[in-house]
Amino acid sequence: MPEKFKVDGEAVRGLAELLGETGLTEIEYQVGDQRIRVARASLPAPVSHYVPHPVSSAPSPQSEAAAPVVALVPSGETVPSPMVGTVYLSPEPGGTSFVKVGDIVKKGDTLLIIEAMKVMNPIRAPREGKVIEICVSDTKPVEFGEPLIILE
């Protein structure tokens, strides 16, 4: 690996344009041991209320024993992951979590940390609200756009 890595801005801009032209969400280009990855942000829409999704109670010909299912989507606003990385729910191993379900947070409060490329990135509350669900587990990998926390 080279000691000093120089970013090729023209290549990054070209890849970003290619994303727009093709409708892709992510593109990666590698020459030798230098790799450039560009991803487009596509944040999930905030969920505003519980939505039941009933399934017909009439038995289907393939599975007469199947019972009706109702899926519930938690109410609130989803805080999505802005990057790929590893989630840490506390500032240090074994430490107290930044937030717990039921906590009231203010805009800008640290909700958790995502480590990406050896950099610790605090993920902050986008607004004031009550933490109603923590969707990720400590020290587990997350993908871009994956729900992290739901605020009421």
DSSP the chain: --SS----HHHHHHHHHHHHHHT-SEEEEEETTEEEEEE---PPPPP-S---EE--SSPPSS-TTPPP-EE-PPPSEEEE-SSSEEEESSSSTT---S--TT-EE-TT-EEEEEEETTEEEEEEPSSSEEEEEE-S-TT-EE-TT-EEEEE-
Q: Which fold has domain 77-151?
A: OB fold (Dihydrolipoamide Acetyltransferase, E2P) (2.40.50)
Average pLDDT rounded to a whole number, residues 106-112 = 95
Domain ranges of the chain: 9-39, 77-151
Predicted confidence (pLDDT) at residue 60 exceeds the cutoff of 60: no
Instruction: Mean pLDDT check: name the lowest of 25-29, 54-58, 134-138.
Output: 54-58
Nearest to 39 by CA among 26, 55, 28, 52: 26
pLDDT range class, residue 40, cuts 50, 70, 90: low
How much is the mean pLDDT over the chain?
76
Predicted confidence (pLDDT) at residue 52 exceeds the cutoff of 60: no
pLDDT range class, residue 131, cuts 50, 70, 90: very high
Predicted confidence (pLDDT) at residue 141 exceeds the cutoff of 50: yes
CB environment 104-121: b (16+ within 10 A), e (fewer): ebeeebebbbbeeeeeee
Contacts of 128 (CB under 8 A, 6+ apart): 104, 105, 106, 107
Predicted confidence (pLDDT) at residue 51 exceeds the cutoff of 70: no
